[in-house]
């Protein structure tokens, strides 16, 4: 399980310009810190051995030779360490000086990668000393202490699932960064040794550049830039350190620190593989690579990560930041209303029919309809809301449903389904005292029949209320609440439904409506298909039967989004919910999720249209195409 992860570090050591002994000692201290954190990779800034701002001193033989001897010293220092070290130093090759990344592992130079693009504009004039390295491919370097060292911009360093590519500073800022090609050639971790000076707002642009490149390349990206002690003459440096993964910022330091600094994060290799497998455009781009990679293989002694400190969000569908969450909710409502608005304008109908239960899903669907009708300037009286009390309907949900519809100004109809269900029980010879799945589904299908017939009679559309979590679990009655003419909640997970309703309660409606919505939020999730207790309370609580929705939404996210194995999902769920559920409980509901997800695919194969609002959807017409008869045996113990 843990083999799918790797710990990696970006480091900024203290430096003295041209003081190689001082620089090497501080590089060693950073290596020690990264190694103590069980990191397997540590990348240092550009020319960190000599320092970047040496100017014409780069033409001094003593500086070049001392830097090569320092590399040899570092090799010996890490002989017994299980960490890949990437440091910056110059290399004299065929009478040309190259700005290079030296890749060191267990007392050996695995390879040397030159900087491809040499900036020579504004405050940069590196071409005075250095030569571009983009034409260097699969060469060999011989040093006094080591021979036949691979040298080239096409090197990729491989250990198991890890494939590491390198670029140096300016390489990232050009039109087609070398990392784009390296990623297409297989590299899933890119490191950048940089010396990027500070001017106003440059740090924000730099961070976005790193994030965006990691997203485009579907890779992890480690960025290490020179620190404040590199500052000299006209330039100031800040020691910016960044670690990203597929567009997500994992770790960033506070710039302008005045001591050795190392940041470390855990990279999810499996996530990167999953993203690349799903993205056909990424695969199609491989043929555009103008060269082949030279693979340099190495092997770690172990996979020990020490403390697993990667943040695992227990609610991956819901932003933890309130401001971001509100923006997300607003965006989702806009997508839902735009989709529903298109369906009404296309059909030229102006009436909606919806069953209202006083539960979360029907409440959200009604709020979407109201917003859509207001947008289309259609009278809310054209929204036909139908409450259909049955054997398990409680006063609380009934009153909330009625009061909400009245407050929103819709047309409210009440149809008691008990008489019709009793007749149907008689017709199919089912005893009303037997509270089994037939007893429940008769009610669900009776409600859907009523809604469909009203829609036919009134010339309207039945709007579905079921959410993504219910579709994943198959927690719906086939051709009952499973069916509608347009399903506005079909790609919204239950955990997010709650926040959408809460958002409306806090931001969009009057105080009285808000109070109703808050009480709906506090009501246990239930289909209310079984009789209530003697006190009139809900007896059938969904989460008691299928399990907590927050767990199922977590399972769904990693199962679909990353194609994670049950073993990995269990591992990260234990991290995310360590203060909420024990391992036995998580494992129980994970097995339930897998079995229900596979056995209920036939329902998802026949779902109605509905708007995709997030990156995960189970529509059979695009996002999820799965045979209805697939076995779950390979996914369970």
115 given a catalytic annotation:
yes
Q: What is the CATH number of domain 322-542+602-635?
A: 3.40.50.620
What pLDDT score does 632 carry? 95
In the structure, what pLDDT confidence band is assigned to residue 516 with cuts at 50, 70 and 90? Answer: very high
Q: Do domains 8-297 and 322-542+602-635 have the same CATH topology?
A: no
| DSSP reduced 3-state for 215 | helix
In the structure, what pLDDT confidence band is assigned to residue 539 with cuts at 50, 70 and 90? Answer: low
Does the annotation place 568 within a ligand binding site? no
pLDDT > 70? residue 528: no
How far is Cα 594 from Cα 635, in angstroms, rounded to an integer?
A: 7
Of 7, 30, 40, 46, the catalytic one is 46
In the structure, what pLDDT confidence band is assigned to residue 544 with cuts at 50, 70 and 90? Answer: confident
468 in Cβ contact with 556 (< 8 Å) = yes
Mean pLDDT of 571-587: 95
How far is Cα 386 from Cα 401, in angstroms, rounded to an integer?
A: 9
Mean pLDDT of 61-73: 97
pLDDT tens-digit readout, 593-631: 999 999 999 999 999 999 999 989 999 998 899 999 999
584 given a catalytic annotation:
no
What pLDDT score does 232 carry? 77
Mean pLDDT of 443-463: 97
Instruction: Name the more confident of 382 and 306.
Output: 382
Of 7, 33, 106, 115, the catalytic one is 115
What pLDDT score does 1 carry? 42
Q: Which positions ≥6 away from 423 have C-beta within 8 Å? A: none
What pLDDT score does 2 carry? 53
pLDDT > 50? residue 240: yes
What pLDDT score does 523 carry? 87
How far is Cα 616 from Cα 175, in angstroms, rounded to an integer?
A: 32
How far is Cα 253 from Cα 264, in angstroms, rounded to an integer?
A: 10
pLDDT > 80? residue 439: yes
Does the annotation place 456 within a ligand binding site? no
What pLDDT score does 234 carry? 82
Q: What is the CATH number of domain 8-297?
A: 3.60.110.10
Does the annotation place 459 within a ligand binding site? no
Does the annotation place 167 within a ligand binding site? no
Mean pLDDT of 444-464: 97
How does DSSP assign 44-71, residue by residue? Answer: --TTTTT-S--GGGGG-HHHHHHHHHHH
- The order of strands in the sheet holding 241-245 is 248-252, 241-245, 220-225, 189-194, 162-168, 155-159, 294-297
Does the annotation place 202 within a ligand binding site? yes
Mean pLDDT of 157-185: 96
Q: Which residues of 564-593 are buried (b: 16+ CB within 10 A; e: fewer)?
A: bbbebbbbbbbebbeeebeeeebbebbbbb
What pLDDT score does 538 carry? 63
What pLDDT score does 524 carry? 80
Domain boundaries, the chain: 8-297, 322-542+602-635
In the structure, what pLDDT confidence band is assigned to residue 122 with cuts at 50, 70 and 90? Answer: confident
pLDDT tens-digit readout, 76-97: 999 999 999 999 999 999 999 9
Q: Any idea which of 206-215, 228-237, 240-249, 582-591 has the lowest mean pLDDT? A: 228-237
What pLDDT score does 121 carry? 85
Of 54, 169, 329, 421, the catalytic one is 169
pLDDT tens-digit readout, 129-157: 999 999 999 999 999 999 999 999 999 99
Q: Could you count the other beta carbons within 10 Å of the beta carbon of residue 381?
A: 11
What share of the chain has pLDDT > 90, as a percent?
88
Taking only Cα atoms into account, the Rg of the chain, rounded to an integer number of angstroms, comes to 31
What pLDDT score does 288 carry? 84
Does the annotation place 619 within a ligand binding site? no
Q: State the chain's mean pLDDT as an integer.
A: 94
73 given a catalytic annotation:
no
């Amino acid at each position: 399980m843990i083999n799918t992860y790797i710990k990696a570090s970006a480091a900024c050591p203290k430096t003295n310009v041209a003081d190689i002994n001082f620089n090497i000692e501080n590089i060693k201290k950073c290596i020690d810190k990264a190694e103590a954190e069980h990191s397997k990779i540590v990348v240092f800034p550009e020319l960190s051995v000599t320092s970047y701002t040496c100017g014409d001193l780069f033409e001094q033989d003593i500086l070049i030779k001392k830097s090569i001897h320092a590399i040899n010293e570092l090799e010996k220092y890490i002989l017994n360490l299980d960490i890949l070290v990437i440091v910056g130093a110059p290399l004299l090759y065929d009478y040309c000086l190259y700005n290079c990344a030296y890749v060191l592992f267990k007392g050996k130079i695995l390879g040397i990668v030159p900087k491809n693009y040499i900036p020579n504009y504004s405050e940069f004039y590196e071409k005075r000393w250095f030569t571009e390295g983009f034409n260097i491919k699969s060469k060999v370097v011989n040093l006094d202490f080591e021979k036949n060292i691979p040298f080239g911009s096409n090197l990729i360093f491989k250990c198991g699932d890890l494939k590491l590519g390198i670029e140096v500073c300016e390489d990232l800022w050009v039109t087609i960064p070398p990392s784009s090609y390296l990623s297409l050639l297989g590299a899933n971790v890119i490191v950048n040794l940089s010396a990027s000076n500070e001017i106003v707002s440059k740090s924000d642009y730099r961070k976005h550049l790193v994030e965006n490149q990691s997203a485009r390349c579907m890779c992890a990206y480690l960025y290490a830039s020179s620190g404040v002690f590199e500052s000299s003459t006209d330039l100031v440096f800040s020691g910016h350190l960044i670690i990203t993964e597929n567009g997500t910022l994992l770790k960033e330091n506070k710039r302008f620190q005045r001591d050795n600094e190392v940041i470390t994060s855990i990279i999810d290799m499996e996530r990167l593989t999953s993203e690349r497998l799903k993205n056909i455009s990424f695969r199609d781009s491989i043929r555009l690579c103008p060269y082949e990679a030279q693979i340099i293989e190495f092997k770690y002694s172990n996979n020990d990560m020490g403390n697993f400190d990667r943040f695992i969000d227990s609610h991956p569908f819901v932003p933890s930041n309130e401001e971001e969450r509100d923006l997300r909710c607003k965006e989702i409502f806009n997508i839902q209303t735009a989709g529903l608005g298109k369906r009404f304008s296309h059909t030229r109908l102006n009436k909606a029919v919806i069953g209202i239960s006083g539960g979360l899903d029907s409440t959200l669907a009604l709020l979407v309809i109201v917003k859509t009708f207001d947008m289309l300037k259609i009278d809310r009286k054209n929204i036909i809301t139908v409450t259909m009390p049955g054997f398990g309907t409680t006063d609380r949900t009934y009153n909330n449903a009625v009061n909400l519809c009245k407050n929103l100004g819709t047309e409210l109809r009440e149809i008691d389904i008990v008489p019709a269900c009793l007749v149907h029980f008689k017709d199919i010879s089912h005893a009303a005292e037997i509270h089994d799945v037939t007893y429940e589904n008769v009610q669900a299908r009776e409600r859907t029949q009523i809604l469909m017939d009203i829609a036919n009679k009134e010339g309207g559309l039945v709007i579905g209320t079921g959410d993504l979590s219910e579709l994943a679990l198959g927690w719906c009655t086939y051709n009952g609440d499973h069916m509608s003419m347009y399903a506005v909640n079909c790609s919204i997970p239950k955990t997010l439904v709650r926040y959408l309703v809460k958002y409306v309660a806090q931001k969009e409606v009057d105080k009285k409506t808000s109070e109703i919505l808050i009480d709906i939020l506090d009501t246990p999730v239930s289909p209310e298909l079984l009789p209530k207790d003697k006190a009139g309370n809900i007896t059938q609580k969904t989460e008691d039967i299928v399990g907590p929705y927050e767990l199922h939404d977590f399972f769904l996210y990693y199962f679909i989004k990353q194609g994670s194995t049950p073993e990995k999902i269990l591992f990260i769920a234990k991290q995310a919910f360590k203060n909420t559920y024990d391992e036995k409980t998580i494992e129980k509901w994970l097995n339930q999720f897998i079995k229900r997800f596979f056995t209920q695919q036939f329902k998802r194969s026949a779902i109605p249209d509905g708007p995709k609002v997030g990156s995960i959807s189970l529509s059979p017409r695009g996002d999820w195409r799965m045979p209805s008869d697939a076995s779950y045996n390979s996914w369970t113990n």
